[in-house]
Copies of this chain bind each other. A is one copy, B any other.
């Protein structure tokens, strides 16, 4: 089942191609958090014929999941009392703490000896995943953190990648459910390591995109054709995903956000959120770690957002770097 991917000069282990279990085998699945991500994820479980018992604070979201065949629960506790597997997809640290550990929270609904598996797909700080996992364990339950990459389109098309932290057997069990909502699951280590992997990847992505914007802004200022520059960089040591797959310079590639005024991509504001998680995790690590490059990148994306472009793709930073300085060359 293990697929080794060859990338660059190394062989990188860890991406599993998983077999989905059938709906009847899976039993009732709890789902808390039916937003832009959780909504389509739960819809994919329903499409696969699974029984979904759902909760969300929004009545509209609840109405939708019921219209798709799901069952409405009146609280997270009610979800946990009627499903042995519960998936959560929530916006941030406090939501996760409250949905799991609050009054009427998931943990209060656990029956004695229920051995429930919680799969938390929220992107939060690793330390919060670990804290909630510990609380679950004290109630006899298990938790894996499983943040995703792939965005709302990946959620709709069931092509998400899950970065999973937890015990090996819990990962194996979680995969049977995740297979209905995504394409890849990577076991990253113990609880919290899914978050760690996602945060570190997105930190590097934020930095390399900012660097890509700067390098192309310099190149065009010096008079080189950005397509020619892409030809050099993408076959050389400066290559990265931001330049060879998601180039932020309009006209260099088709089908990327830069070719449609930075719409339909990874929102600048979401990148700022992930950078905040990286900064929080680094600042509270033992010993603490400073992130100079990440910190500057964050300020640049905040500047972009402050100019009204927070919902645009984060590659729109290229425009800011060029325009703010008055270039008419583009």
Contacts and interface: CB of A to CB of B under 8 A. Distances in A.
Contacts of A7: 234-235, 239, 244
Contacts of A242: 237
A216 B221 CA distance: 33
Contact of A210 (B15, B207, B216, B289): B207
Q: Which of A13, A126, A222 has the most CB of B within 10 A?
A: A222
Interface in A256-285: 256, 278, 281-282, 285
B197 A203 contact: no
A15 B198 CA distance: 35
Contacts of A66: none
For this chain, the copies found in one complex come to 2
Interface stretch (A18-26, A72-80, A184-192): A184-192
A243 interface: yes
A168 interface: no
A243 B204 contact: yes
Interface of A: 5, 7-10, 12-15, 126, 149, 161, 163, 186, 188-190, 192-193, 196-205, 207-208, 210-212, 214-219, 221-225, 227-247, 252-253, 255-256, 278, 281-282, 285, 287-294, 296-297, 300, 321, 325-327
